[in-house]
Structure 1
Amino acid sequence: MYNILDFNPEKLKQWMKENKESEFRAKQIFDWIYKNIWDFDQMTNIPKNTREKLKNSFYIEIPEVVHMYKSKLDDTFKFLYKYKDGNIIESVVMKYKHGNSICVSTQIGCRMGCKFCASTLEGIVRNLSSGEILAQVLKSQEQIGERISNIVLMGSGEPLDNYDNVMEFLNSVNAEYGLNIGQRHITLSTCGIVPKIIELADKNMQITLAISLHAPNDELRKTMMPVAYKYSIDEVIKACKYYISKTNRRITFEYALVNGVNDTRECGFQLIQLLKGILCHVNLIPVNEVKEREFKKSSSNNVKDFYEMLSSHGIETTIRREMGSDINAACGQLRRSYLESKNDLKGV
């Protein structure tokens, strides 16, 4: 049995052909799925014998909503979803004037070990399939009753550590009779897996690549991100320049400001020298505090000073608006809190 959401339109057309069915049925099936009909028996324009074939070969896995949290501060929704194997992931929907954005998870847990992220605390459980990532978008659209127009792959997991499934997901959401979300409305965030950045560049996609940089030199980055032991900043920057040369797309460098660690003027000047002349912008992020980690958020004055330092040297810089801070909307926090509460109940 296959999760039909793991099939892109062309792959389902091929299945139809091999099973002596009309290829156009593939489009009909996806039309139903994207209208939130997730039961083959409810697809009334599909012949009964075709539906039986589908039920014998496929299932449609849409995760169960464990909890939905709505921020009292802004239009942010956080969903805890459970897959059929019992694993929990989280997705965040943020409403803006220009449309609805979703931050999806690509893995259950994460193996990257970044010191400021709750997702990595217990390592990785498994990769999500392309259909399981897609299902987060479909279920979230159903829950908020509105279309999602922007996708950010910045939830739990490292997208480029699940490269093949993530590429298949991108093809599905970009498909004309899928979600039909343009590549320029998709952002993929990575901690900097250099060979995969180069491989992605060679695909010449028009998605936005966001690099979790968080430090201007290797010594400091190693204390925050274990991936820095494998790939130096010079290697990451070289891969980024290659990505820009292939796609002509601006890179986003994410920089989580940690009090007394990477928010000094010296770090600011090093970052300016590192990024000078690169088609990029810097997204400053006041770090989300994780109780198991020692990192503390930079003061608002330090954030402002860092912003002004970069801006005054011609580097386009933004300060990320904190969304859903009252509902633990940062990556991995809510899932971990839920799992801890379940474990506590087992001990009662």
Structure 2
Amino acid sequence: MTDAVLRLTERHIDDEGTAKYLWTLHDGRRVETVFFSHHAGPGQCLSTQTGCAIGCTFCATALQRPARNLSADEIYAQAVRVDEDCRERGLTVPWRFVTLSGMGEPLLNYDNMVEAARRLYEWTDIEVVSLTTSGVVPRIYQLADEPTYLQLHVSLHATSDEVRRQLIPTTRKWGIEEILTAARHFARTRDRRVIVNYLMFESVNDRIEDARRLVDMLEPELFEVHLLLWNEIPGFPFRRIDDHRVDEFRRLLSDAGLMAKPMPSKGRDIQAGCGQLLAERTA
């Protein structure tokens, strides 16, 4: 079944074993999937749409306008095909994590995304299926009541609506406080912290004032913060921040009681890092 749903077009593997897969779908559209491994175990990053309409100014996927949502079969098949490829390469992988954080905004493909997550939990002994959203507020409330549990990551990236609109122009409908209010509801309903992704940019959102505002916004019992470094994309007007600056920012958060940790970048050399996925340039 999965061979008919996805055709492997390209595969790239870096020196650390991170692999990026380019799939061609039945209608000729293309998406990408990433296999990665870190200290907590192996995982996969799956796509939920062919492109993305959110329009983040730092993300290559924004250059691929979405033609459609992926079906539940197409989302689920990515995981199965990556598993098959790993086994063919002699990698016996007890899957720990699957994240719906590749191409697309998963909460704009809600029903297919949730159905794929349900099937992933049934497929193997996955510890957790997670998703990353730019903040589709009504769907966050809906997700809190789903029988199938998904770990919620919210891409915040700013401590003011003004700066956030510069980074994520299409999120004008919901401000930071509305998004965080929905995230608080999710955390209390599921009794598990929401992860706030904070992608750091030099001279944009890396000031001491930003760290202090983040501390004021986030309750330690409801949130933890993942600090991300921007992965370079040719032609984009940002600079990758130094590791030591990220660690200084982390210490400011941690000293105030907020759980925070920098997240390693995987697959940068093969354009498989966060924000680098682009299966076809259509804009």
TM-score normalised over the length of structure 2: 0.92
User: Residue 202 of structure 1: which of 142, 145, 160 is its match?
Assistant: 145
1:31-79 deviations in Å (ceiling 9; x for gaps) = xxxxxxx6xxxxxxxxxxxxxxxxxxxxx6341211111111x121111
CA RMSD of aligned residues (A): 1.9
Contact kept in structure 1, 2:73 and 2:116, CA below 8 Å: yes
Q: Relative CO higher for 1 or 2, CA cutoff 8 Å, sep ≥ 6? A: 2
* Aligned equivalent of 2:124: 180
Contact kept in structure 2, 1:80 and 1:335, CA below 8 Å: no
Shift of 1:121: 1.7
Structure 2: distance between partners of 1:292 and 1:117: 11
Secondary structure of the 2:21 match is: strand
1:90-140 deviations in Å (ceiling 9; x for gaps) = 100013454320000000000001111111123212110000011101110
Letter in 2 for 1:315: L
Structure 2: distance between partners of 1:303 and 1:104: 27
Secondary structure of the 1:307 match is: helix
1:213-235 deviations in Å (ceiling 9; x for gaps) = 00011111111112431101111
Shift of 1:292: 3.4
Secondary structure of the 2:211 match is: helix
Q: Could you list the runs of 5+ residues in structure 1 that have no partner in the other structure? A: 6-37, 39-59, 344-348
Structure 2: distance between partners of 1:107 and 1:81: 12
Within 5 A, what are the aligned runs for 1:288-307?
288-307=231-250
Structure 1: distance between partners of 2:277 and 2:186: 33
* Aligned equivalent of 2:103: 156
Structure 2: distance between partners of 1:234 and 1:98: 32
Structure 2: distance between partners of 1:205 and 1:251: 16
* Aligned equivalent of 2:188: 245
Percent identical among aligned pairs is 32
* Aligned equivalent of 2:267: 324
User: Residue 213 of structure 1: which of 128, 132, 156 is its match?
Assistant: 156
Contact kept in structure 2, 1:151 and 1:186, CA below 8 Å: yes
1:111 aligned to 2:53? yes
* Aligned equivalent of 1:134: 76
Residues matched between the structures, number: 277
Structure 1: distance between partners of 2:195 and 2:55: 21
Letter in 2 for 1:76: T
Letter in 2 for 1:137: A
* Aligned equivalent of 1:166: 113
1:6-35 deviations in Å (ceiling 9; x for gaps) = xxxxxxxxxxxxxxxxxxxxxxxxxxxxxx
Shift of 1:305: 1.2
* Aligned equivalent of 2:175: 232
Give the direction of change, closer, same or farther, for the CA distance of 1:62–1:319 in structure 2 (3 Å limit).
same
Letter in 1 for 2:240: K
Structure 2: distance between partners of 1:278 and 1:224: 27
Letter in 2 for 1:170: A
TM-score normalised over the length of structure 1: 0.75
Letter in 2 for 1:271: L
Shift of 1:80: 0.9
Give the direction of change, closer, same or farther, for the CA distance of 1:68–1:206 in structure 2 (3 Å limit).
same
Structure 1: distance between partners of 2:41 and 2:200: 28
Bigger helix share: 1
Structure 2: distance between partners of 1:315 and 1:332: 26
Give the direction of change, closer, same or farther, for the CA distance of 1:122–1:334 in structure 2 (3 Å limit).
closer
